[in-house]
Amino acid sequence: MLWAEALKGVTVVERFDAPVQVAGVEYDSRRVQHGDIFVAMRGGSTDGNRFIDIAVSRGAAGIVTDSREAYDAHRSTRPISPVALVSHGRRALAEVAANVFSHPEERLAISAVTGTNGKTTTAYLLEQFLKSAGRTCVLIGTIETHVADEVRSSEHTTPEARDLFATFADGVAAGATETIMEMSSHALDQERVWSIPLDVALFTNLTQDHLDYHVTMDRYFEAKARMFEGVGAKAPRVAVINADDPHGDLLQQKAMANGSEVMSYGLGPRAAYRADNISLRAGATIFDFDTPAGCVPIMSPLTGRVNVYNLLAASCAALARGLSLGEIAGAAERLGQVPGRFQVVPSGNAKIAVVVDYAHTDDALRNLIALGRELVGPHGGRVITLFGCGGDRDRTKRPKMGRAAAEGSDLIVVTSDNPRSEDPEKIIEEIMVGIRETGTICIVEEDRAGAISIAIRAARAGDIVLIAGKGHEKVQIFADETVPFDDVAVATGVLAELNEVDGDPNEA
């Protein structure tokens, strides 16, 4: 591909062209290889224009920059090297990447999920529904990336545009016709998803999170709403929206104003696609899926009311993608567990339940604890909740999470959860503000492994231990290092130690 072909359709302020061959595109100078275009753009924490010389030294074929100063400097020092000045670096990155990877997005039906909670589970469920109907899929999300049958690690919920288009291209090469992706509010606000056409857009819910970035809930909502307007692309063909969420009505209005077909789901009368006659128990969620096209019983091995919403959202999207009610009902019975989302840790002989979950907002924590209470209630068991709050994130939710945990739990263990550059003790103290208002018994143990041991060893027969906050994550992030850490592995080790003792050590 020639330089001019790579810039086809890209809006530029000024450019100097040369007939050079282009092999690829990169935004990270450390990954540049001979023949790549380097897109130098300003980011939140660094400015890629600082690394143009490095990219050139590694063999960059040309430069796209959002800095007039960098453009002029490149023209003066390398007068025969192609360079383009653009107003929006991330938009240019997406447009160049689409050209370089031969527009794979045009050969995929893309469904995207946004919302505070439930994105990952809903995306996983939709992938399983589509695969059950014989579709080959790409999944891009928080836990991992799937390209047909290949599983890859995920560094971000929504990657930069170059990496998205590369994954799309890999999917097309593997025979994929469908893509399911999580779209974070950060990615929407920063336009990492520029020019990606959505066939189906899903909204799960909106509760407080990421105010360290968005500052206000209104700005947080507007970032989510951009997905339903189209970010450099047409508005989605179908918008699947939670009618029970307070923001649902406004989002439906926005979607309809943009020409999308709206499928509203929920438990209340405002939803066109509803769950009726709900029956919940451990390892089983059963309801009637009532739709304008008919009603079908849904029986799944998932647990809890929150998964009714996740199932509804994924089922609506599956209908929008052409599956029948019968196909959805059949697939629902065989759905697999999502890592780190109400993941039950095998407890062996110990007569307690231990669950690892990603809940990291007060709303998610409240829902998790309510589910725990529902499961142990008939047996008179207690709910023991372990959690912490991440450093360098929204501080205002810390006391709210403390209060949410305290209001629903019998015992709380407060610990550390990715403190990053902050002092873990100060984070815990801010959490304790909400707990002290309730008088619920609380144990503080900064060391997360020690805290997990305390929580499990405090449990008696019939209790449930909820280990919240990290879910699928495999590391603990500190100011000066990132260390391997897995809640499931630590909990499994503690339970194994308990099971070495003859009988149940917690029944004495």
Statement to judge: residues 379 and 463 lie in one domain: yes
Higher pLDDT among residues 3 and 348, named by residue: 3
Of 332, 356, 372, which marks where a domain is finished? 332
Q: Are residues 155 and 292 in the same domain?
A: yes
95 and 197 belong to one structural domain: no
257 and 227 housed in the same domain: yes
pLDDT(147) > 60: yes
Q: Are residue 84 and residue 191 in the same domain, yes or no?
A: no
Query: Where residue 418 falls among pLDDT bands split at 50, 70, 90?
Result: very high
Strand ranges across the sheet with 36-40: 14-16, 83-85, 62-65, 36-40, 24-26
Q: What's the structural domain count of the chain? A: 3
Instruction: Examine the domain organization and report whether 243 and 267 are in the same domain.
Output: yes
Is residue 18 assigned to a domain? yes
How many CB atoms within 10 Å of residue 53? 14
- Split at pLDDT 50, 70, 90, the class of 166 is very high
* Dist CA 500 CA 497 (whole Å): 5
What does the block give as tokens for 101? 């990877």
Residue-wise pLDDT tens digits, 121-141: 999 999 999 999 999 999 999
Tens digit of pLDDT for each residue in 317-347?
999 999 999 999 999 999 988 888 888 898 8
Domain-located, residue 337? no
Please tell me whether residues 380 and 423 are part of one structural domain.
yes
470: left (phi over 0), alpha (psi -120 to 50) or beta: alpha
Binding residues for meso-2,6-diaminopimelate: 393, 417-420, 469, 473
**Domain annotation covers residue 108:** yes
What percent of the chain shows pLDDT beyond 90?
Answer: 83
The CATH number of the domain holding residue 120 is 3.40.1190.10
pLDDT band at residue 505 using 50, 70 and 90 as cut-offs = very low
CATH number at residue 374: 3.90.190.20
In this structure, of 229-233, 356-360, 499-503, the range with the lowest mean pLDDT score is 499-503
* 300 and 420 fall within a common domain: no
Average pLDDT over every residue of 159-168: 96
Residue numbers in the known binding site for ATP are 115-121
- Convert 206-270 into a string of H (helix), E (strand) and C (coil): CCCCCHHHHCCHHHHHHHHHHHHCCCCCCCCCEEEEECCCCCHHHHHHHHHHCCCEEEEEECCCC
Cβ 283 vs Cβ 258: under 8 Å: no
Q: Is residue 466 part of a domain?
A: yes
Q: Where is the domain boundary, 100, 129, 154?
A: 100
Which pTM does this prediction carry?
Answer: 0.86
Using CA atoms, how far apart are residues 332 and 351, in angstroms rounded to an integer? 29
- Average model confidence (pLDDT) for the chain? 94
Q: Among 157-166, 283-292, 495-504, whose mean pLDDT is lowest? A: 495-504
Tell whether the model's pLDDT for residue 419 goes beyond 90: yes
Q: Which residues are annotated as a binding site?
A: 29, 115-121, 157-158, 184, 190, 192, 393, 417-420, 469, 473
In tens, the pLDDT along 11-59 reads: 999 999 999 999 999 999 999 999 999 999 998 778 999 999 999 999 9
Q: Pick the closest to residue 273 from 262, 281, 284, 259 (CA basis).
A: 262
- First-to-last alpha carbon distance for the chain, in angstroms, is 74
Question: Which of 332, 360, 376 is a domain's end point?
Answer: 332
- What pLDDT, on a 0 to 100 scale, did the predictor assign at position 214? 65
The mean pLDDT value for 386-405 works out to 95
Same domain, 376 and 426: yes
Closest by CA to 404, choosing from 454, 364, 453, is: 364
Residues 413, 347 share a domain: yes
- Do 10 and 71 belong together in one domain? yes
User: Could you list the residue range(s) of the whole structural domain that residue 85 is in?
Assistant: 3-100
Instruction: Assign residue 66 the CATH number of its domain.
Output: 3.40.1390.10
Q: What is each CA distance from 77 to 4, 40, 49, 71, 80, in whole angstroms?
A: 21, 17, 15, 10, 9
Under a CB-based contact definition with an 8 Å cutoff, are residues 196 and 110 in contact? yes
Name the one residue in this structure whose structure tokens are 């799309």. 168
Residue 213: is its pLDDT beyond 80? Answer: no
Q: Which two tokens mark 347?
A: 């407890």
Collapsing DSSP states into helix, strand and coil, what is residue 465?
strand
The single-letter DSSP state of residue 51 is: G
Quick check: is 478 in a domain? Answer: yes
| Residues 323 and 428 grouped into a single domain | no
Chain segment 53-109, per-residue pLDDT in tens: 999 999 999 999 999 999 999 999 999 999 999 999 999 999 999 999 999 999 999
- Report whether 290 contacts 267 (CB < 8 A): no
- DSSP 8-state secondary structure symbol assigned to residue 16: E
Task: Report yes or no on 217 lying in a domain.
Answer: yes
Q: Residue 504's pLDDT band (boundaries 50, 70, 90)?
A: very low
Grouping H, G, I as helix, E, B as strand and the rest as coil, residue 45 is coil
Q: Is 338 a domain residue?
A: no
Ramachandran angles phi, psi of 295, nearest 5°: -130, 140
Residue closest to 493 by CA, chosen among 457, 459, 444: 457
Give the whole-angstrom CA distance, residue 270 versus residue 224.
21
Instruction: Please write the tens of the pLDDT for every residue from 245-255.
Output: 999 999 999 99
Segment 379-395 shows an average pLDDT of 94
Query: Worst-scoring range by mean pLDDT, 188-192, 213-217, 371-375?
Result: 213-217
Neighbours of 195 (CB within 10 A): 19
Q: Is the pLDDT of residue 211 over 90?
A: no
Q: Residue 506 domain-assigned?
A: no
